[in-house]
A and B are shown apart, each in its own frame.
Chain A
Amino acid sequence: MEFDIVGKSTPLLDGLEKVTGRARYVTDIRMEGMLHGKILRSPHPHARIVKIDTSKAEKVSGVRGIITGFNVPQHKFGTMLQDWVILPNDKVRFVGDEVAAVAATSEAAALEALELIEVEYEVLPAVFDQEEAMSPDAPLLYEDKDDNIATTFQVERGDVDGAFAESDIIFEDDYETSQVYQAHLEPMAAVVAPADYDRLTLWLSTQVPSMSRLRYAEALGVCAEDLRIIKPHVGGGFGAKFEYKSHILAAVLARRTGLPVRMVNTRDEDFIAGNPRVPMKIRVKLGLKKDGAILAKDVRIIAGNGARTVYGPAITSTACYRIDSLYKVRNVRSVGYTVYTNMIPTSCFRGFGNAQMHFAMEQALDAICHENGLDPVEVRRINGVYPGYVSIHGWEIKSCALQECVDQAVEASGWYEKKKTLDKSGAKKRGIGMALCNHVSGNRPFYRPFDGSSALVRLTPEGKAIVFTGEADLGQGLNTAFAIIAAEAVGLPVKDVRTAAVDTDISPFGLGSFATRATTIGGRAVYEAAVNLKEQLVSHIAKVYDEKPENIKVRKGEVALEGKGETLPIFDVMQKVSFSLGGASLVGQGSYVPDTVLPDENKYGNVSPAYPFACHIAEVEVDTETGSVNIINYWAAHDVGRVLNQQALEGQVEGGVIMGAGWALMEEMIVKEGHLVNPKLHDYWLPTSMDTPIGKIHSIFLESVDPNGPFGAKGIGEPSLNPVAAAIANAIFDATGARIKKLPISPDKIVGALVNKKL
């Protein structure tokens, strides 16, 4: 099939406003009478709130409203568990926990008021490590619970013990992944304004406009219809921008004061009260045949949920069993505990638990190969899934070019040659490492009622199209991908199509950008809407021009009337069609409901309509004297189903690899007794241009043409990061013999390992 737009490079259609600075983000919104909201946060990791006195703060000139746990309702709500309140009146549970919020006519007045709020705390013993928090004598975060275990996920299939008994190789080891910060350049932000009909309008920097609307309605005790959510440009999300407390506080303050309220995190607040990656302690036990075929897998995970639940439990369950659709293992047992601690609540971060498990599993396989003289490429080949494979949990792999990803990455990197010849003689040693990856494109259990998406495509009287979707572009290029899909399906130039900002008063419902679902599921809905539009267009043209429908071809913005031998610009045609309809636009509507199921109580059932795969290979140079690691080359071969936008795909891979390298080598939230020591971008070691091997990240795309994705496309956002930390760790091992199993792989750990091993 030949495409006009799909598969080419289409620069972001909303790039012009971004390069000119005209793009408006939530942080840019200013309104007449707008108040500035600020949040008083707990200085203690765990404390009883004895009393809050706001009398002095109320007298500050410019203060219009102050809320605390003593003047807001105390009903519970939440994302996965009902452990949120608007503001607490009993306890604070982490440093950064919201205690009070102020709205004032200036930021300075709001800050002054915060200083004057007097809170009397009774400090309680706290627990920070998730494993310690499981102990029976650990301080309890929630007194109405017996222990700190928020949720336990368990799954067992096949004959695990029998399979271990039959195994020639048994391997067991522990890995630990870190809590890291998404560091989206635009901090968490909301502007909330009262609107007509007693409603509120919320401009949110969010990945999940429609879902936030449902949760915030619950929190505020109103109908979803009473809330209008608008998502303008978003300055990155990476998993951080889900339901968020400060959005709710801004809404409460807007209702109390009757005025617009702006609530934007400072960078420090974003660090201490965002929702960073779920840290995990992962024990992996694998049983294999002599040739490396995996017979059995047993996993135990202890995950830190932090002080309240965002999406931790779903992330732990993902870590427990998603990887069972990467390798053909039939005997598996997993248990995952998501444990409350007096730490910042953790949540989604690109990779959603699967990235954590990749760090463990892909290193385990590498170690097994090394210890048993097996070829890591061959072992992955014989275990890797294939098209038509149904996992032990009932996950149905349709399109799959995993083997081809391995082939291409191995060939492009010169793997076998490099394995033999990379220089390990001096103090600077080179090494090469591999990691495979799988992921989903949509995750049915994420939102229990359903998965799916719907879209509208409107063709105006001038022959230009507007896509309406509830799925959220965060800067990854989703709006452009949707325009490409609609343009290709209708037959318009892509420049004549745009995707409207999400506005729940206008846009259809869209669950949002997570689980690498938006391009596949949202894009398929856009495709269906575009096809529906095209059908309407053709039938109207047939009527207006008295031409047989089969003789009407629309392509690149031109309409060929083949019976008449005439070709007309879409502008002329749509003017006529529209005038014949009283000036109407044509509106195509489409939905996509994936053929997935909510897994049953035994966790059985296909969760995603499409599964992307990848093979990453890292080549590194390790300075064994300083422990510093340089990425020399990086190959990322991805089964993307279909390339919709070459340039944007490369951008996702390059960004994901560098983010993964930051996680692997640099980034660390250093927490002492519950206090984050380094809430600054510099001290946190976010990768800069200096840390990036420019021109050395090589993207390779394979098109397995998925039957469910739009034009066959699957997602890319998370797969680009999942295997990175493991590929780098394996390369470091290859270079030096140092196996670092705890993130980050900082220079001191490498040097320490080398000293210990006398390597």
Chain B
Amino acid sequence: MCTQNEIMFTAEAKESITFTLNNKEYTVPVVPGERLLDMLRNRLGLSGPKEGCGAGECGACTVIFNGINLNSCLIPAERADGAVITTIEGLSEGIEGDLDPVQQSFLDHGAVQCGYCTPGMVLSAKVFLDHNKSTPVTRPMIKEALSGNLCRCTGYQKIVDAVYACAPVKGDPEEEGEV
């Protein structure tokens, strides 16, 4: 696992890059100076990663990059070489695939309003849950895990509830509010 900073600043020149995106292999030519967010949106046709700020401040562009949730607006596209990337489109397959439990929980709990933050929120939640499969999860832990993803609509309450409901092992439900 590497940090956002390492990913941002250790690029080396190449003509094309190969990576796994949503379980499929891609090889694409390098466009100098391109951000991963732009490659995903403009060249690979994805609409899930959103641009809310372009400055690493809102989390709308979150992708899962080698197992961690990162802001794709801060990642040079060529850093994707060899990476395994999941966007929201990778959580459920096409229109026919089942929803990931986190997606379903967001829907059921009313954790979605305008939806602009939702893909990023769901992916950050997903990473958090994947890393806490056996740890008792509390709401303060969820708040912390989602603190890089801004939502202006919901006031976060229903989002945190939606994630809590998905935790395989639940910690003290009273810690910061009842179920």
Contacts of A82 in B (CB 8 A): none
Whether B115 and A24, one on each chain, are in contact in the complex, defined by CB atoms closer than 8 angstroms, is no
Whether B150 and A695, one on each chain, are in contact in the complex, defined by CB atoms closer than 8 angstroms, is no
Query: In angstroms, how far is the closest chain B Cβ from the Cβ of A269?
Result: 11
Contacts of A695 in B (CB 8 A): 139, 157, 160-161, 176-178
Whether A686 and B99, one on each chain, are in contact in the complex, defined by CB atoms closer than 8 angstroms, is no
Within 8 A of B (CB), among A234-261: 234-236, 238
Cα of A20 to Cα of B178 in the assembled complex, Å: 28
Cα of A475 to Cα of B112 in the assembled complex, Å: 8
A267: interface (CB < 8 Å): yes
Whether A236 touches B87, Cβ cut-off 8 Å, given contacts A15-B115, A648-B110, A692-B157, is no
B contact residues, range: 35 or more
Contacts of A475 in B (CB 8 A): 113-116, 153
Whether B152 and A20, one on each chain, are in contact in the complex, defined by CB atoms closer than 8 angstroms, is no
Whether A12 and B155, one on each chain, are in contact in the complex, defined by CB atoms closer than 8 angstroms, is no
Contacts of A654 in B (CB 8 A): 154-158
Query: In angstroms, how far is the closest chain A Cβ from the Cβ of B132?
Result: 16
Contacts of B135 in A (CB 8 A): none
The SS class assigned to the B binding surface is loop
- Residue interface mask B11-49, A partner, CB < 8 A = 1: 000000000000000000000000000000110001111
- Residue interface mask A119-144, B partner, CB < 8 A = 1: 00000000000000000000000000
Whether A185 touches B157, Cβ cut-off 8 Å, given contacts A20-B88, A695-B178, is no
A21: interface (CB < 8 Å): yes
Contacts of B54 in A (CB 8 A): 266-267
Cα of A381 to Cα of B36 in the assembled complex, Å: 58
Chain A, residue nearest B157 (CB): A654
B52: interface (CB < 8 Å): yes
Contacts of A693 in B (CB 8 A): 176-177
Chain B, residue nearest A9 (CB): B110
Partner of B99, one of A20, A267, A656: A20
Whether A689 touches B160, Cβ cut-off 8 Å, given contacts A22-B47, A186-B114, is yes
Chain B, residue nearest A234 (CB): B114
Whether B152 and A694, one on each chain, are in contact in the complex, defined by CB atoms closer than 8 angstroms, is no
Within 8 A of A (CB), among B88-114: 88-89, 91-92, 95, 99, 103-104, 106-110, 112-114
Whether B114 and A474, one on each chain, are in contact in the complex, defined by CB atoms closer than 8 angstroms, is yes
Which of A25-33, A319-327, A579-587 binds B? A25-33
Which of B1-9, B64-72, B75-83, B141-149 binds A? B141-149
Whether A15 touches B48, Cβ cut-off 8 Å, given contacts A680-B57, A695-B177, is no
Whether B55 and A680, one on each chain, are in contact in the complex, defined by CB atoms closer than 8 angstroms, is yes
Query: In angstroms, how far is the closest chain A Cβ from the Cβ of B176?
Result: 5
Whether A647 touches B110, Cβ cut-off 8 Å, given contacts A238-B152, A689-B156, is yes
Cα of A697 to Cα of B157 in the assembled complex, Å: 8
Cα of A475 to Cα of B113 in the assembled complex, Å: 5
A233: interface (CB < 8 Å): yes
Query: In angstroms, how far is the closest chain B Cβ from the Cβ of A734?
Result: 23
Whether A23 and B152, one on each chain, are in contact in the complex, defined by CB atoms closer than 8 angstroms, is no
Whether A689 touches B159, Cβ cut-off 8 Å, given contacts A651-B154, A681-B150, is yes
Whether A233 and B152, one on each chain, are in contact in the complex, defined by CB atoms closer than 8 angstroms, is no
Central interface residue in A21, A236, A477, A680, by most chain B CB within 10 Å: A21
A contact residues, range: 35 or more
A476: interface (CB < 8 Å): yes
Cα of A196 to Cα of B157 in the assembled complex, Å: 47
A19: interface (CB < 8 Å): yes
Cα of A693 to Cα of B159 in the assembled complex, Å: 13
Chain A, residue nearest B60 (CB): A185
Query: In angstroms, how far is the closest chain A Cβ from the Cβ of B81?
Result: 23
Whether B158 and A650, one on each chain, are in contact in the complex, defined by CB atoms closer than 8 angstroms, is yes
Contacts of B156 in A (CB 8 A): 654, 658, 688-689, 692, 694
Query: In angstroms, how far is the closest chain A Cβ from the Cβ of B172?
Result: 12
Query: In angstroms, how far is the closest chain A Cβ from the Cβ of B56?
Result: 9
Contacts of A14 in B (CB 8 A): 115
Whether A15 and B119, one on each chain, are in contact in the complex, defined by CB atoms closer than 8 angstroms, is no
Cα of A325 to Cα of B10 in the assembled complex, Å: 62
- Residue interface mask A662-687, B partner, CB < 8 A = 1: 00000000000000000011100010
- Residue interface mask A471-495, B partner, CB < 8 A = 1: 0001111000000000000000000
Cα of A489 to Cα of B52 in the assembled complex, Å: 39
Query: In angstroms, how far is the closest chain A Cβ from the Cβ of B162?
Result: 10
Whether A688 and B107, one on each chain, are in contact in the complex, defined by CB atoms closer than 8 angstroms, is no
Cα of A659 to Cα of B53 in the assembled complex, Å: 19
Whether A651 and B113, one on each chain, are in contact in the complex, defined by CB atoms closer than 8 angstroms, is yes
B137: interface (CB < 8 Å): no
Cα of A182 to Cα of B152 in the assembled complex, Å: 9
Whether A21 and B114, one on each chain, are in contact in the complex, defined by CB atoms closer than 8 angstroms, is no
Contacts of A658 in B (CB 8 A): 155-156
A510: interface (CB < 8 Å): no
Contacts of B53 in A (CB 8 A): 267, 680-681
Cα of A276 to Cα of B91 in the assembled complex, Å: 37
Query: In angstroms, how far is the closest chain B Cβ from the Cβ of A662?
Result: 9
Query: In angstroms, how far is the closest chain A Cβ from the Cβ of B85?
Result: 14
Whether B103 and A20, one on each chain, are in contact in the complex, defined by CB atoms closer than 8 angstroms, is yes
B58: interface (CB < 8 Å): yes
Query: In angstroms, how far is the closest chain A Cβ from the Cβ of B23?
Result: 15
B122: interface (CB < 8 Å): yes
Cα of A520 to Cα of B160 in the assembled complex, Å: 30
Contacts of B46 in A (CB 8 A): 21
Cα of A186 to Cα of B50 in the assembled complex, Å: 8
Partner of A15, one of B57, B112, B148, B159: B112
Contacts of A690 in B (CB 8 A): 143-144, 147
Query: In angstroms, how far is the closest chain A Cβ from the Cβ of B108?
Result: 6
Whether A651 and B116, one on each chain, are in contact in the complex, defined by CB atoms closer than 8 angstroms, is no
Contacts of A184 in B (CB 8 A): 114, 116, 152
Contacts of A182 in B (CB 8 A): 152
A293: interface (CB < 8 Å): no
Contacts of A656 in B (CB 8 A): 155
Contacts of B152 in A (CB 8 A): 182-185, 236, 238, 655, 659, 686
Contacts of B41 in A (CB 8 A): 28
Central interface residue in A22, A474, A694, by most chain B CB within 10 Å: A694
Query: In angstroms, how far is the closest chain A Cβ from the Cβ of B118?
Result: 5
Central interface residue in B52, B109, B155, B160, by most chain A CB within 10 Å: B155
List 10 extra interface pairs beyond A236-B114, A689-B156, CB under 8 A. Answer: A20-B99, A21-B47, A25-B47, A185-B58, A267-B52, A651-B155, A681-B52, A681-B57, A682-B57, A689-B143
Cross-chain pairs A/B with CB under 8 angstroms, 24 sampled: A11-B110, A15-B107, A19-B103, A19-B115, A20-B99, A21-B49, A21-B87, A21-B89, A22-B47, A22-B89, A24-B47, A185-B60, A186-B114, A235-B114, A235-B115, A267-B53, A476-B153, A647-B110, A647-B158, A654-B158, A680-B53, A688-B148, A695-B139, A696-B177
Q: Footprint of A on B, CB under 8 Å?
A: 41-42, 46-55, 57-58, 60, 87-89, 91-92, 95, 99, 103-104, 106-110, 112-119, 122, 139, 142-144, 146-161, 176-178
Q: Footprint of B on A, CB under 8 Å?
A: 9, 11-12, 14-25, 27-28, 30, 182-187, 233-236, 238, 266-267, 474-477, 647-648, 650-651, 654-659, 680-682, 686, 688-690, 692-697
List 4 tightest A-B contacts by C-beta distance, closest first.
Answer: A695-B177, A475-B114, A21-B48, A18-B115
